[in-house]
Amino acid sequence: MESIWLTVNPHPREGDEASVLFTGRSQTAPDHRIGPQVLDYVLVHTVEAGKGYFRCGDREYELGPGDSFFILPGVLHGYRSDERDPWLYRWIACRGPALARWQQRAGVSPERPVIYAAGESLRAMEAVAAAFREGGWTADFEASGWLRIAWSAWMKANRPEAPEAAGGREEASAREADRAARWLHAQLDRPVSIAQMAQELGYHRTHLSKLFRRHHGMSPIRYLQKLRMERAVVLLQEALTVEEVAASVGYADPLYFSKSFKKWMGGTPSDYRKGLRT
């Protein structure tokens, strides 16, 4: 006997990069059949128990607990439960321009519409259903967050290594140098050291310094100082005191900031501001 639980988005928003339309759960009847048909949104099923068969194009896939199958817009498909051990599954329907990118990162396409051992997505689907049942005005926001978690589970299950990781050693080196640069960008208002950066990023400080210099043409400390001075130039054009500018770019001592600024720019912060007024 078939049982279906369906919840729809109570407060959908237009224009989101990815949003959930509805989600559901079903204990299917033996030999339950859907299709052949075509949809205009993405619909993903993840199996909780039982088994069944998904047909996409000229291929048929057998799926069991933890497996997911992806129905993509405009793709002819059909599926059916096993006659003796029918599916219990959850599904989630979604739409938005971000989904094409997520599909690519997850390795999903009409030619590869199945991800095996992706049961972690079930928790996210259950959370979406709970948010929709509660019906609060933030339900759509909550669902969007859980949708990302579901896609993250599918990505990790299908591609344990990031798609970019297929590049050579030099590409991996450049990615790590960029990661270190992003870390420095996040530290503009804090006192930091190379030792701290190396520890947090998981590298020996000497290796990290060499890696950074090779890809960015300067040491991490000089790169951070460059970022700080560039930011200071912008902030000095605002209605802020020199002390406030100094604190905003990681200098607890305004006098030391002024000396560093003069060494970098050829004039003090006050001189810079005077130049702006002339």
**Domain identity same for 136 and 230:** no
**Domain identity same for 147 and 205:** no
**Domain identity same for 65 and 131:** yes
Of all residues in the chain, the percent with pLDDT exceeding 90 is: 67
To the nearest whole number, what is the mean pLDDT of the chain? 90
**Domain identity same for 30 and 78:** yes
Considering the domain boundaries, does residue 164 fall inside one? Answer: no
Residue that terminates a domain, selected from 158, 178, 207:
158
Q: Who contacts 77 (Cβ-Cβ below 8 Å, separation ≥6)? A: 35, 36, 37, 38, 54, 55, 56, 71, 113
**Domain identity same for 187 and 90:** no
**Domain identity same for 109 and 219:** no
Considering the domain boundaries, does residue 192 fall inside one? Answer: yes
Checking if the pLDDT of 21 tops 90, the result is: yes
**Domain identity same for 52 and 189:** no
Residue that terminates a domain, selected from 125, 158, 191:
158
Considering the domain boundaries, does residue 163 fall inside one? Answer: no
Rounded CA gap, 87 and 80, in Å?
Answer: 9
Number of domains the chain contains: 2
| Listed residue (20, 24, 77) closest to 53, CA to CA | 77
Considering the domain boundaries, does residue 37 fall inside one? Answer: yes
**Domain identity same for 134 and 187:** no
**Domain identity same for 127 and 260:** no
E-strand ranges in the chain read 3-8, 19-27, 33-37, 42-49, 52-56, 59-63, 68-71, 77-81, 88-95, 114-115
**Domain identity same for 100 and 235:** no
Q: Confidence band (pLDDT; 50, 70, 90) for 3? A: confident
Per the structure, the complete domain to which residue 110 belongs is given by 3-158
Residue that terminates a domain, selected from 98, 131, 158:
158
**Domain identity same for 211 and 90:** no
| pLDDT attached to residue 160 | 63
Q: Confidence band (pLDDT; 50, 70, 90) for 202? A: confident
Per residue in 95-148, pLDDT (tens digit) is 999 999 999 999 999 999 999 988 889 999 999 999 999 999 999 999 999 999
CATH of the domain at 262: 1.10.10.60
Per residue in 238-276, pLDDT (tens digit) is 989 999 999 999 999 999 999 999 999 999 999 888 887
Q: Confidence band (pLDDT; 50, 70, 90) for 278? A: low
Checking if the pLDDT of 23 tops 90, the result is: yes
Distance of CA 236 to the CA centre of its chain: 35
pTM of the model: 0.71
CATH of the domain at 153: 2.60.120.280
Q: Confidence band (pLDDT; 50, 70, 90) for 74? A: very high
**Domain identity same for 70 and 200:** no
Considering the domain boundaries, does residue 132 fall inside one? Answer: yes
| pLDDT attached to residue 134 | 93
Rounded CA gap, 69 and 60, in Å?
Answer: 11
In the chain, the amino acid numbered 166 is A
